[in-house]
Amino acid sequence: MWTKAGKALLAGCLFALGSGAVLAADADPQKQIDEIKGALPKFAIPMREVGDRFQNIYFAAKGGNWALAAYMSKYMNGAMNPAKVTKPNEYKVWQGFYEGAFAPVNKAIQAKNLKAFEGAYTAVINDCNGCHKAMGYSFIKVVKLKAPADNGVDYKVASQPGDVPP
């Protein structure tokens, strides 16, 4: 039975084969798979996107742009997908965090409850810092920014969490 990560890896291999990226027909397929896997972002690069989107969620919720907050959360989680293949053990930690500790943030976004959101958001910052410390990255300390990570977005557009396309 194929996992999603296995299917993604297979799709990448097929793309590479179809695009002429494979240099020799007699090349070792496992080596080619390893090279494709090696080109995927590990954990730090997707985590950078997670950090930016996490910061933006706060400003979106505070501005009443609930759809943007929901959108940022959705794509914050999706940014970690390469880690399913490149760092599966760390991805399990991420998945547990997003489905557990982060769930109250998503619940508050769906309810458009700013008070619950602010409490859940602050708790997540503490959880992030605890996780970083437990994994040996205590030098990575999350703080709430005074301005969004992306200043090119209007965080005050009135919207509903359900406005995000599937």
Q: What is the pTM of this model?
A: 0.79
pLDDT at 61: 98
Under a CB-based contact definition with an 8 Å cutoff, are residues 96 and 60 in contact? no
pLDDT at 19: 54
Please report, for the chain, the start and end positions of each structural domain, with discontinuous segments joined by +. Answer: 4-39, 44-163
Under a CB-based contact definition with an 8 Å cutoff, are residues 61 and 114 in contact? yes
pLDDT at 32: 87
* Residues of the chain falling short of pLDDT 50: 21-22
- Spatial CA neighbour of 83 closest among 9, 157, 159: 9
What count of other Cβ atoms lies within 10 Å of the Cβ of residue 113? 15
- Spatial CA neighbour of 67 closest among 162, 166, 165: 162
